[in-house]
Amino acid sequence: MNEAPRKLSLDQWDGRYEQLRRDGLREPAYGGPLRRHVVREKDFRLQQLQFDNSPAALRLWNFLLTENERLHQARAGGEKIVGAMKDLGTVPVMACALPGARAFYPDGAWWTPCLMECSDKLLQQAERMGLDASFCPVRAMLPAFEHGGHFPRPDLLVCSAGAVCDDFSAIAQRLEHLGHSIFWWEIPRRRHPDFGETACPLPGNLAAPKTQVDCVRAELQRVAGALGELAGITLDNDRLAAGIRAANQARQLLDSLRRAVYGAPAAPLPALEMLVAEMLAIHFCSDRPETIAVLGGLLAEAQTRARRGQFVAGAEAARIFWVNPVADLRAMNLLEELGGRICGSDYMFTHALDLIPENLPPLEALARIALADPMAGPTSDRAARIVRECQAGRAEAVVVSRIPGASHCAREGEIILEMVRRKIGIPAIELEIPPVCDALRPSLASRLQALVETARARRPQ
Amino acid sequence: MICAGIDAGSRSIKAVLFDTERGEVLASGLAAQGVAQERLAAVLFEQLLQEAGLDRPRISGIVATGYGRHAIGFAGTTVTEITCHARGVRRLAPEARTIIEIGGQDSKIIRLEDGGRVRDFAMNDRCAAGTGRFLEMVAARLEMNWEKLAELGRQSRKPALISNICAVFAETEIIGLLADGQPLPDVVAGVQNAIATRVAALAGRLVSPPVYFTGGVALLAGMARALEEVLACPVQVAPRPQFTGALGAALAAAAPNPPGGGRLL
């Protein structure tokens, strides 16, 4: 069953899957050949990707691509479905602490048009609803809510407001105006404590005034009330503490996986699978126990490969730190094809990778982790973390990718690039990667190839 | 050792034969780009060999660069324009610290360290507003060639203000300005300023002098001056700026470990 790591096309995975089945592959209920996602869900983009050949990667992809199916099954089984919007990683910890409830991430629909190569017409439908290409691709969730066919309509929609990007606010408000009731909670823009103000340490080497933490804690108390009301069970401290412990288990696994892959002299797992794995931190792909199993499988695979000296990108590959997730997943394949590898990442939700403090009252701990969201604070805080992690990961270059229409801060890329150049002096570029635009692949490849060449040329001879 | 560099740009193909022992260019030439890129490049390459009195086996390595580099199958390896322009400029002007390259399809800012190594770079995104394509659009709209365009630009007394955000919008603006009776030289100078401003925005804080200007657009008199104004520093046009990338490719072919890796022939 174990073979040397290599990347497979979808066609090659068909054969590999048959071989794994013959060898006694055991799969979870959502398992099956990758091909079926193209046939049944029209995830056409899979036909253009290169996948890792391990059973652990197969499980990861199947887990990711069956989320809607699993949500519908959960609904049919009587479970309560919570749509946690904008907030990246806090409300799901709370929702998953309730028996019979699961959270998902409707905003994740931004990926759908890319996966389906627009065959679902979500972006066109969003345009007809008044949200054109000048808006963030998250607009794809609007028609997904309206017309169904993707995720089930949640029993409760919870959305953070305040320190969130304008595009998202506009889209979420439009959603509410269309009749989808939203439970709003507010997160203030994080600021550094003033002189004389009581400061609270936050995960990620950050700090905020105690007044801000108190404010978020009170807001999360309201969220806990709404979730408890939905489930018919009080979401008390014991349940929350258990939920935090379970979430930390997933976060610890992800941390170990990132260390095993990004920290290794060569890459035991590909950049693409790592991007998908990191995404699980946000909302557990609506199944926390299974997230733990999937991450555990990937970690075991990475460790086994590293022990055997088997890698998907060699030690000569340029070590790239990647900032922001890409809409077109092919970019991650492309980086490796051109001689790069990922040595660290900031996909916008680094706070969801940090452990939630277990030595604090649960809502206090959750408030602190929510305030540590890089999107809720100044970009300079985010840039400082990126610089630290670049140094720790011995990055040779940085890519800040952008998605057209999506800007959490108009000058975000510039601020990050400037700090990277000033503090560590490595090449750093900003790339715009649209969700679906095949014609731009050559120019994207040129930029990545130039970055890899530059990084390699700077190595001591 | 004699090496060849081929720069398959979006508008033209440039080729250079370089003798590493004598340290000089033996031949260089340019051909219009077309659909059959490899054939066009091969014809140009053969012309240069003939001109230099060489036959193919004398060529130790061929590196292709530029937008169409992957189409040049007879090249030993490919290297990006960033690396090639840096190598080319380092050869011609070792003191250079910044390169501005405006090509037919894109524009680039390359910052160099001591020794000419690339420190950082930036490239424009999809819009044609900061590229030679914009000038071509304007030349076509005004029914004139580049030389005439340059000559007109020099006559301007008060350059028009033209948008640098979008080449398509800018074209509409140009029609409006001409309909309004704006003098043609002022419109042309306005276009040059719009491109320069766009490039300056791309450069951000990457610019440190001395600044060298490469690529075909550098040949257009007035562009360097427009860049100098927006960057507030002297901008020197590299010698034979349209060949800098091809020269850098030839130099890359001569390197013991070519940046793109792989075989050279």
| Portion 41-60 of A in contact with B at CB < 8 A | none
Q: Which amino acid is at A420?
A: V
Note whether B256 contacts A: Cβ–Cβ < 8 A: no
CA distance B244 to B84: 8
Q: Could you count the other beta carbons within 10 Å of the beta carbon of residue A245? A: 13
Residues 330-369 of A with CB under 8 A from B: 339
**Shared domain check, A125 and A196:** yes
Nearest to A454 among B118, B125, B204 (CB): B118
By CA distance, what is B257's nearest residue in A?
Answer: A457
Residue A105 CB contacts under 8 Å (≥ 6 apart), including other chains: A83, A84, A85, A92, A282, A283, A286
Q: Is B1 helix (H, G, I), strand (E, B) or coil?
A: coil
What are the chain A neighbours of B118 within 8 Å (beta carbons)?
427, 453-454, 457-458
Please check whether residue A333 lies inside any domain of the structure.
Answer: yes
Tell me, yes or no, whether A232 and A256 share the same domain: no
| Domain boundaries of chain B, sorted by first residue | 1-93+242-265, 96-237
| CB nearest B259 (choices: A418, A425, A453) | A453
Among partner residues A339, A429, A432, which is closest to B121 by beta-carbon distance?
A429
Shortest distance between the Cα of B122 and any Cα of chain A, in A, equals 6
A1 inside domain: no
**Which span out of A128-142, A443-457, B245-259 was modeled with the highest average pLDDT?**
A443-457
B261 contacts on A by Cβ (under 8 Å): 339
How many domains does chain A contain in total? 2
Domain final residue, candidates A239, A272, A293: A239
Answer whether A403's CB lies under 8 Å from A136's CB. yes
Above 50 in pLDDT, residue B99? yes
Same domain, A310 and A433: yes
The Cα of A420 is separated from the nearest Cα of chain B by a number of Å equal to: 11
Judge whether B138 and A444 are in contact, CB under 8 Å. Answer: no
Residues of A in contact with B205 (CB under 8 A): 418
Determine the pLDDT at residue B258: 62
Please tell me which of the candidates B80, B126, B205 has its beta carbon nearest to residue A450.
B80
Q: Do B67 and A450 touch (CB under 8 A)?
A: no
The answer to whether the Cβ–Cβ distance between B126 and A339 falls below 8 Å is: no
A–B: how many Cβ contacts below 8 A?
Answer: 54
Residues A95 and A172 in one domain: yes
B106 and A454 in contact by Cβ < 8 A? no
d(CA B74, CA B39): 10
* Residue of B120, B205, B261 with shortest CB distance to A427: B120
Q: Which of A190, A216, A239 is the last residue of a domain?
A: A239
Q: What is the chain B residue with the closest CA to A443?
A: B67
Lowest mean pLDDT among A278-282, A334-338, A350-354, A443-447: A443-447
The verdict on B121 touching A (C-beta cutoff 8 Å) is yes
Domain that includes residue A28, residue range: 7-65+248-457
A308 and A426, same domain (yes or no): yes
A442 in B contact zone (CB under 8 Å):
yes
What average pLDDT does the segment A394-405 reach?
A: 90
- Options 2.10.260.10, 3.30.70.20, 3.30.420.40, 3.40.1390.10; which CATH number does B1-93+242-265 get? 3.30.420.40
Q: Which residue of A has its CA nearest to B105?
A: A443
**Is B28 an interface residue toward A (CB < 8 Å)?**
no
The verdict on A456 touching B (C-beta cutoff 8 Å) is yes
pLDDT higher than 90, residue A268? yes
In a domain? residue A260: yes
The CATH number assigned to the domain holding A355 equals 3.40.50.11900
- Do A332 and A397 fall within a single domain? yes
pLDDT in tens, A298-312: 999 999 999 999 999
Residues B260, A453: C-beta atoms closer than 8 Å: yes
Domain co-membership, A201 together with A264: no
Give me the pLDDT at residue B210, please: 95
CA-nearest residue to A456 within chain B is: B259
Least confident of A20-29, A47-56, A353-362, B212-221: B212-221
CB contact at 8 A, B242 and B253: no
3-class state of residue B210 by DSSP: coil
pLDDT digits (tens, 9 = 90+) for A34-59: 999 999 888 888 999 999 999 999 99
Contact A427 B117 (CB under 8 A): no
Could you tell me if A334 and A369 lie in one domain? yes
Residues A212 and A195 in one domain: yes
Interface touch A414/B204, C-beta < 8 Å = yes
Q: What is the pLDDT of residues B140-186, one digit of tens each?
A: 888 888 778 888 888 888 988 887 667 777 778 888 888 888 899 99
* Closest chain B CA to residue A431: B125
Judge whether B252 is closer than 8 Å to chain A, CB to CB.
no
CA end-to-end span of chain B = 13
Chain A, 361 to 420: residues with Cβ < 8 Å from chain B are: 414, 418
Q: Which CATH architecture has domain B96-237?
A: 2-Layer Sandwich (3.30)
* Predicted confidence (pLDDT) per residue in A438-457, tens digit: 777 788 899 999 999 999 99
Which of A178, A208, A239 finishes a domain?
A239
Q: Please tell me what DSSP assigns to residue B33.
A: -
What does the pLDDT average to over A272-287?
A: 94
CA distances in angstroms from A327 to A112, A168, A404, A461, B219, listed in the order given: 9, 16, 10, 37, 39
pLDDT grade, residue A372 (50/70/90)? very high
Q: Does B130 touch chain A (CB under 8 A)?
A: no
Residues A194 and A252 placed together within one structural domain of the fold: no
Cβ contact A429–B259 (<8 Å)? no
Between B81, B83, B122, which is nearest A429 by CB? B122
Pick A347 or B201 by higher pLDDT: A347
Nearest CA-CA distance, residue A126 and chain B, Å: 24
pTM comes to 0.91
Looking at the structure, do residues A88 and A34 belong to the same domain, yes or no?
no
> How much is the mean pLDDT over chain A?
93
Q: What is the pLDDT of residue B38?
A: 93
Same domain, A433 and A309: yes
pLDDT reported for residue B262: 46
Spatial separation of the C-alpha atoms in residues A172 and A107, rounded to whole Å: 10
Substitution target from A401, A441, A453, A456 for chain B, most B beta carbons within 10 A: A453
